[in-house]
Structure 1
Amino acid sequence: MAVRRAARQQAVSDHKRGLILDAARAVFSEEGLEGASLRAIATRAGYTPAALYFHFDSKEAIYADVLRTSLRALGRHVSEAVSEAQDAQAKLRAAAMAFFWFYAENPRDLDLGFYLFRGGMKPKGLGRERDEALNDDLAIALRPISEAARVLGASPMAAELLMVDTFAHATGLLLLLHTGRIRMFGASAAERMEAYLDGRIGALMQDAKPC
């Protein structure tokens, strides 16, 4: 009986936590980290602000949980794409394009990922431990890029830099895509991403050729 009661209580708690996170995601999407408030999240979830403290100790804790869910979904998306690729070239391309398409199709998730720049270009984190944990989740999603680069002959440092460069290139194109600025150039963000990868993979293969 006690076990059943504990299981029911946990199920209720998980359900409430889920409602809070769903409400928080909507509020953060509309207001950003800076503009959102616990009161607004609680109202959207149908609870009082005090009730939120049974599940989270701060607005930043809620944001971290929402972003963690997003980053782990990104990681699964990239992992699934890589698992279908047959060789290192295909894996590198699949990982990079899966990253690009995840955020191309989910712009709200891209907004969440750039919480550091809410309210202008002044960095504001969620606390050192949370920031480090979230960075780890992002690194896991991007890691297949560097792993494939190493298989193609890149040094560990070069592979890491390629991963960083690919991340930067993709996010730049995604910014142009979601703001509509890419239309100024009569270009396709996806095609420019593919072209970038063609160049980087081609350079890796050239470097790997015996002299």
Structure 2
Amino acid sequence: MSMTRPDKNAAKRDHILAAAKALFAEAGLEGASLRAIAARAGYTPAALYFHFPSREAIYAEVLRDSLARLKAAVAGGAARDGFRGAALALFDFYAAHPQELALGFYLGGGGLAPRGLGQGLDPGLNAALLAALAPMRAAGGQEVATEAFALAVGLLVMSETRRIRLFGLSAR
């Protein structure tokens, strides 16, 4: 049975997103041009425009998928063990997928700096992050959840850069 047009379009879109995710992991947002994404996916840049209006829209879709998976992990952790479970699920998700942390903080091509994808995309992505962290906020309150998130991110960065070894510790 052959694929329908909507199925073919969805498959092509998924292929573009997979190629873009790999390129974003290697080069960051700034280093991944639309032309490079198209080449990685095996399409022309014009073919990408059929599915996405911009490189930023592609990045947003990759990040949206990451945040949906984070949300599921944190919710599962909270269901098992309240705040502690949610916080550990957050940590474990990013420890297992450090490229997802870099994706969420736009860390691929210029170090630490305030970045975003523009007013059309940022509010929705920020809302998705807050939704992913909602079980932590519900179980521990806003301030405690914020502190736990900051601690987890800091420990993950120290672990990925191996700076945690200076203290003779492991991140978890």
Flag whether TM exceeds 0.5 (same fold). yes
> How would you bin the TM-score normalised by the shorter chain?
over 0.9
Deviation track 1:121-169 (CA, whole Å, cap 9, x = no partner) reads 33221012311111111111111112112xxxxxxxxx21111111111
Residue aligning to 1:187 = 169
The change in CA–CA distance for 1:143 and 1:164 in structure 2 (over 3 A counts) is same
Instruction: Tell me if the contact between 1:116 and 1:123 (Cα under 8 Å) persists in the aligned partners.
Output: no
Residue aligning to 1:70 = 66
Q: Which runs of 4+ in 1 moved over 6 A?
A: none
The amino acid that maps onto 1:35 is G
For 2:40 and 2:108, the matched residues in 1 are separated by 24
In the alignment of these two chains, the number of paired residues is: 171
1:15 aligned onto 2:6: no
- C-alpha displacement of 1:182: 0.4
Local SS of the residue matching 1:124:
coil
1:114 aligned onto 2:114: no
The change in CA–CA distance for 1:24 and 1:117 in structure 2 (over 3 A counts) is closer
Deviation track 1:177-205 (CA, whole Å, cap 9, x = no partner) reads 11110011101110xxxxxxxxxxxxxxx
The change in CA–CA distance for 1:117 and 1:167 in structure 2 (over 3 A counts) is farther
TM-score by length of 1: 0.77
Local SS of the residue matching 1:104:
helix
For 1:141 and 1:118, the matched residues in 2 are separated by 25
Alignment of 1:38-117 (within 5 A): 38-85=34-81, 91-115=82-106
The amino acid that maps onto 1:179 is T
The change in CA–CA distance for 1:118 and 1:129 in structure 2 (over 3 A counts) is same
Instruction: Tell me if the contact between 1:116 and 1:124 (Cα under 8 Å) persists in the aligned partners.
Output: no
Instruction: Tell me if the contact between 1:39 and 1:48 (Cα under 8 Å) persists in the aligned partners.
Output: yes
Higher relative contact order (Cα pairs below 8 Å, separated by 6+ residues) = 2
TM-score by length of 2: 0.94
Percent identity between the aligned chains?
A: 52
Farther off after superposition, 73-82 or 20-29: 73-82
- C-alpha displacement of 1:78: 1.1
1:148 aligned onto 2:139: yes
The change in CA–CA distance for 1:56 and 1:123 in structure 2 (over 3 A counts) is same
Q: Say which one has the larger Rg.
A: 1
For 1:124 and 1:65, the matched residues in 2 are separated by 16
Structure 2 gaps, min length 5? none
1:162 aligned onto 2:144: yes
